[in-house]
Each structure stands twice: as C-alpha cells, then as structure tokens.
Amino acid sequence: MAKKKDGITDLTKVLVNAAEKFTDAEYSKLTQVIFALLHGVNYGYDTMDQRFLNDAQDLKFIHKSDKNLKKQFKIKKIQKDNVIYLKNFIKETSKDGA
C-alpha cells in the first residue's frame, strides 16, 4: 500500500499526513486506534451518527484555541536587572521613622 500509486484512499492520505507531522509514538498510537476501530472497538460511540464528528470538531476548536492563546499572550522572561526587590524599599521607609 505504501509504494502503490493507484488506490490511494483517504485513509492512506491521512496516514501520510500523520507520518509527516507526528512523532513515532503519536503515529504508533494513531495506527493502533485505527486498527482497533477496524476490528470493532467503538470507543463509546455505539451508533453511527453525527456525534463523533461534532466531538472531533469541538476538540479541535478547544485545543487549537488554547494553542493560539498561548502564542498570543506569550510572556517574555524578565531579566534579573528589571526585578524590583521590595525589601530595598522597606529599608528606606523604615528610616523615615514612620
């Protein structure tokens, strides 16, 4: 299947995309899940309906949004020179006799 030019299916295309982007462990997990699905494991989806597709879209939306938010609000590390030590100010205010 991997070297054949004819008979390329959506499954083949998805596996090729995953092989390019996933780590070895992620790809192995994906192939194990697909194998299990082909052998009757239903992972809690007892009927063939829209629920799985809706759940998959929800997961993508949630996790892609989280990733985008983390990029958007990336906090830069503060250099040591920019740190204000409150103990330095406490000494100054205690000299005032207050």
Say if residue 41's pLDDT is above 50.
Answer: yes
Residue 44 within a domain: yes
How many residues can be counted in the chain? Answer: 98
**For residues 30 and 22, what is the distance between their CA atoms, to the nearest angstrom?**
9
**For residues 98 and 95, what is the distance between their CA atoms, to the nearest angstrom?**
8
Q: Between 10-21 and 24-38, two packed helices, what is the crossing angle to 10 degrees?
A: 160
Vertex 38: Cα angle to 32 and 42 (nearest 5): 85
Alpha helices in the chain (DSSP H): 10-21, 24-38, 51-72, 86-95
Determine the average pLDDT of the residues in 49-71: 84
Q: Which domain holds residue 87?
A: 10-95
What predicted TM-score, i.e. pTM, was given to this entire model?
0.59
- The pLDDT confidence band at residue 78, using thresholds 50, 70 and 90, is very low
The tally of domains found in the chain comes to 1
Residue 89 within a domain: yes
Residue 5 within a domain: no
> What is the structure's pLDDT at 67?
67
Q: What percent of the chain has pLDDT over 90?
A: 49
> What is the structure's pLDDT at 64?
85
